């Protein structure tokens, strides 16, 4: 295995859905065979928007862990850990915050756009500072590869600045990470929105039962210009066709053609999409059931991943404190 370390994370704000699978989870199941893969349950980061709902975060923590295991993350290969259980991350965040300017955070394009999509509410200190905390997430374990989407690049650039600044100010202790901008496609929602999102009610959860999947698909929007089966359709604007493209191994082109020629009806097309998605979700359901029946095993996995991460964090902190002259 390559010695480089990958860090990925999920904010613990809700169960994972097909959009997460297509965007990052599938990629992680492959990265774990290539790199030392760290997967962080970002419960502290979830507090930036859900600080008033700690109980919800607690529930989602285990559900997301089950989502990982169901999707094929192998706890023998990947280190799954809980952010709030690594106090060194908070310590590093504080140290870094001494030399990160408020302006660099305010003007960070990712923060700006996230703040706008949050409805322009008053910005909390923790939210404004979360890129600093993210720099701590990445550097405590000296991760060098951070898989991200294009929109997250400014955050990685900020981490790189933190690393350079720290190494110049004190001693070259921190490792410079790089973004791995992969093919992280966005999956459209069942309502046709550009992004699948649980809060919009347009998501197909990874733990959906067959009935839930069928119901979601029945309600999914299609090309509105198709009234009757014989009407020529436009698959490129139809979410159901997007699901065929993502989850069907073969025959995607043919379905597109049948739609364009008005040969296939939307009900039949949706039925086939359900079959394709079910082929992904059914093996996941089996793995989920295995772990769901063994909650102690899941807790033990999380604790052993967290204790491995903590060990590395302690080593990094010794170096950091020594470099800063705080090793009293």
88 binds ligand SF4 (CB under 6 A): no
Nearest distance in Å: CB 254, ligand SF4: 11
- Of 52 and 228, the one with the shorter C-beta distance to ligand SF4 is 228
Nearest distance in Å: CB 238, ligand SF4: 3
181: part of which helix (H) or strand (E)? strand 178-181
217 binds ligand SF4 (CB under 6 A): no
61: part of which helix (H) or strand (E)? helix 54-71
- Of residues 133, 17, 64, 45, the one with CA closest to residue 302: 64
Count Cβ atoms within 10 A of the Cβ of residue 123 and give its class: 0-12 exposed, 13-18 middle, 19 or more buried: middle
- Choice from 238, 284, 298, 320 touching ligand SF4 (CB under 6 A): 238
Query: In terms of residues, how long is the chain?
Result: 328
CA distance 140 to 81: 13
- Of 182 and 192, the one with the shorter C-beta distance to ligand SF4 is 192
- Choice from 81, 241, 247, 291 touching ligand SF4 (CB under 6 A): 241
269 binds ligand SF4 (CB under 6 A): yes
Residues 6+ apart with CB under 8 A from 282: none
- Choice from 12, 42, 57, 259 touching ligand SF4 (CB under 6 A): 259
155 binds ligand SF4 (CB under 6 A): no
Residue 136 half-sphere exposure toward CB, CA atoms < 13 A: 28
CA distance 131 to 234: 41
226 binds ligand SF4 (CB under 6 A): yes
Site of interaction with ligand SF4 (CB under 6 A): 222-223, 226, 233, 235, 238, 240-241, 259, 264, 266, 269-270
């Amino acid at each position: 295995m390559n010695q480089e370390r990958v860090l990925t994370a999920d904010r613990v704000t809700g169960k994972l859905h097909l959009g997460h699978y297509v965007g990052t989870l599938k990629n992680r199941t492959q990265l774990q065979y290539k790199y030392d893969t760290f997967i962080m349950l970002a419960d502290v980061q979830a507090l930036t928007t859900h600080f008033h709902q700690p109980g919800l975060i607690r529930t989602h923590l285990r559900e997301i862990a089950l989502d990982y295991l169901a999707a094929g993350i192998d706890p023998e290969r990947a280190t799954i850990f809980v952010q709030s259980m690594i106090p060194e991350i908070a310590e590093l965040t504080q140290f870094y915050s001494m030399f990160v300017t408020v302006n660099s955070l305010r003007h960070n394009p990712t923060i700006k756009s996230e703040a706008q999509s949050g409805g322009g509410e008053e910005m909390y200190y923790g939210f404004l500072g979360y890129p600093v905390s993210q720099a701590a997430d990445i550097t405590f374990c000296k991760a060098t590869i951070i898989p991200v989407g294009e929109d997250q690049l400014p955050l990685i650039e900020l981490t790189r600045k933190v690393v350079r600044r720290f190494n110049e100010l004190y001693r070259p202790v921190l490792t410079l990470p790089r973004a791995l901008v992969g093919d992280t496609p966005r999956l459209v929602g069942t309502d046709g929105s550009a992004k699948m999102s649980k809060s919009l009610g347009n998501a197909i959860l990874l733990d959906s039962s067959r009935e839930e999947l069928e119901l979601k698909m029945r309600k999914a929007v299609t090309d509105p210009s198709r009234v009757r089966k014989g009407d020529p359709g436009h698959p490129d604007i139809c979410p159901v066709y997007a699901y065929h493209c993502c989850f069907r191994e073969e025959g995607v082109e043919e379905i597109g053609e049948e739609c364009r020629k008005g040969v296939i009806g939307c009900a039949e097309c949706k039925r086939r999409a359900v079959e394709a998605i079910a082929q992904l979700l059914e093996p996941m359901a089996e793995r989920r059931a295995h772990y769901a029946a063994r909650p102690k095993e899941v807790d033990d996995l999380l604790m052993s991943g967290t204790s491995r991460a903590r060990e590395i964090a302690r080593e990094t902190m010794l170096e950091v404190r020594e470099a800063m002259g705080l090793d009293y």
